[in-house]
C-alpha cells in the first residue's frame, strides 16, 4: 500500500496462512474420524466371524473352505483395525507439522508486530513535529502586516519563538531521518517475512498433497490386501470336491456293507403245509450309483462348479 502505516497486504497474507492451517486441521480431523470408522468396522467383522455360526455341521473339504472363509474375514477385520492405527499416526504427523509451522511463523509475526508498532509511533511523532512547525511559521508573515506597536509585540514573540522554531525544525528533520531509517528497516523485514511465509506455504501445500496421496495409497493397499485374503477363500473353494465330501459322509456314517435279508414267510396256521410251495427268497441286488461327474466350466462361464446346469454355490 502507498500508505506507510497500512498493513492491508500483510494482514491478507496472515489470513491466508491461518486459512491454510485451518485446512490442515480439517484433514487431520477427517483422518481421525475415518480411523474411528475403520476400527469399529474391523471389530464388527471380527465379532461376526467368531460368534456367528456359519456351516457348523459341514464336513471335509467344504468345512475346510468355510474355516478359511471365517479366518480370512477375521484377518480382514484385523486389517481394518491396523488401518485405523495408521490413520491416527498420519493425523498425528499432520498435527505436528501444523504446530511446527505455527511456532516458526509466530516468531516472524512478533518481529513484524514490533516493527509495525515502532514505524507507526515514529510516523505519528514526525507528523506532530511537522504540524508544530507549520503553526509557528505565520508569525514571520505577520511582521509585514502589523502596525508599529503591534510590530514590537510580534517581534518579541518572534524572538521568543525563533529558537523554538529552529529546534522544532531540527527535530522535524531528525524525525524524518529516523522515520526513513525505520521505513527502510520495516520494508526489509517485510520482504523477509513474505519470503518466509511463501516458503512455509509451499511446504504446507507440498505436505498436504503428499499426505492426501499417502492416504489414498493406504486405502488402495488395504483393498489389495483384502482381495488377497478373499483370493485365499476362492482357492479353498476350488479345492472343495463334491465327490470327496459325499464319500467322506458315506464312510463316516456307514452302518454296514450288506443290505438286510428278505423276510421269510413262516406258516403258523397250517403246520402240515408243504413248505416247498413257499416263495423262494429272491436276492436283491445291492448297487450304488456311479461316481458324480467332475464339475467343469466352459469358456466364459463363472469360476465355480456346475453339474447338469445346476450351480453348486
pLDDT digits (tens, 9 = 90+) for 82-139: 999 999 999 999 999 999 999 999 999 999 999 889 888 888 888 877 777 666 555 5
Asked whether residue 260 is assigned to any structural domain, the reply reads no
The total number of structural domains in the chain stands at 1
Q: What is the pLDDT of residue 311?
A: 46
Query: Which residues neighbour 109 within 8 Å (Cβ) at sequence distance 6 or greater?
Result: 14
Asked whether residue 212 is assigned to any structural domain, the reply reads yes
CA atoms within 13 A on the CB side of 74: 11
Asked whether residue 307 is assigned to any structural domain, the reply reads no
Radius of gyration of the chain (CA): 49
Q: What is the pLDDT of residue 304?
A: 47
CA separation for the pair 4, 179 (Å, rounded): 10
CA separation for the pair 150, 196 (Å, rounded): 64
Place of cell 522515520: 179
Asked whether residue 55 is assigned to any structural domain, the reply reads yes
Q: What is the pLDDT of residue 59?
A: 86
Low-confidence ranges of the chain (pLDDT < 70): 133-162, 270-313
Q: What is the pLDDT of residue 89?
A: 95
Which three cell numbers mark 244? 470327496
Asked whether residue 129 is assigned to any structural domain, the reply reads yes
pLDDT digits (tens, 9 = 90+) for 235-261: 999 999 989 989 998 998 888 888 888
Q: What is the pLDDT of residue 306?
A: 46
Asked whether residue 299 is assigned to any structural domain, the reply reads no
Q: What is the pLDDT of residue 57?
A: 82
Q: How many residues does the chain have?
A: 313
Q: What is the pLDDT of residue 98?
A: 93
Q: What is the pLDDT of residue 106?
A: 92
Amino acid at each position: 500500500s502507498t500508505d506507510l502505516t497500512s498493513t492491508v497486504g500483510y494482514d491478507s497474507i496472515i489470513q491466508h496462512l491461518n486459512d491454510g492451517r485451518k485446512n490442515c486441521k480439517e484433514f487431520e480431523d477427517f483422518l481421525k474420524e475415518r480411523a474411528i470408522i475403520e476400527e469399529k468396522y474391523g471389530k464388527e467383522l471380527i465379532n461376526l466371524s467368531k460368534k456367528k455360526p456359519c456351516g457348523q455341521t459341514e464336513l471335509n473339504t467344504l468345512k475346510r473352505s468355510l474355516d478359511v472363509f471365517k479366518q480370512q474375514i477375521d484377518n480382514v477385520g484385523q486389517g481394518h483395525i491396523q488401518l485405523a492405527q495408521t490413520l491416527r499416526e498420519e493425523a498425528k504427523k499432520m498435527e505436528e507439522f501444523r504446530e511446527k509451522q505455527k511456532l516458526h511463523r509466530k516468531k516472524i509475526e512478533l518481529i513484524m508486530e514490533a516493527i509495525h508498532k515502532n514505524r507507526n509511533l515514529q510516523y505519528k511523532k514526525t507528523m506532530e513535529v511537522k504540524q508544530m512547525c507549520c503553526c509557528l511559521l505565520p508569525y514571520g508573515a505577520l511582521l509585514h502586516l502589523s502596525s508599529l506597536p503591534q510590530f514590537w509585540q510580534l517581534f518579541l514573540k518572534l524572538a521568543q519563538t525563533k529558537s523554538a522554531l529552529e529546534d522544532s525544525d531540527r527535530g522535524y528533520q531528525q524525525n524524518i531521518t529516523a522515520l526513513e531509517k525505520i521505513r527502510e528497516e520495516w520494508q526489509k523485514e517485510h520482504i523477509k517475512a513474505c519470503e518466509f511465509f511463501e516458503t512455509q506455504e509451499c511446504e504446507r501445500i507440498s505436505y498436504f498433497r503428499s499426505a492426501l496421496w499417502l492416504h489414498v495409497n493406504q486405502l488402495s493397499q488395504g483393498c489389495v490386501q483384502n482381495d488377497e485374503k478373499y483370493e485365499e477363500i476362492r482357492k479353498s473353494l476350488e479345492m472343495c470336491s463334491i465327490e470327496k465330501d459325499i464319500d467322506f459322509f458315506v464312510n463316516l456314517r456307514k452302518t454296514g456293507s450288506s443290505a438286510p435279508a428278505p423276510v421269510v414267510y413262516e406258516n403258523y396256521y397250517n403246520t402240515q403245509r408243504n413248505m416247498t410251495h413257499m416263495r423262494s427268497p429272491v436276492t436283491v441286488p445291492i448297487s450304488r450309483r456311479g461316481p458324480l461327474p467332475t464339475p467343469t466350466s466352459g469358456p466364459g462361464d463363472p469360476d465355480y462348479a456346475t453339474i447338469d446346469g445346476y450351480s453348486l454355490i
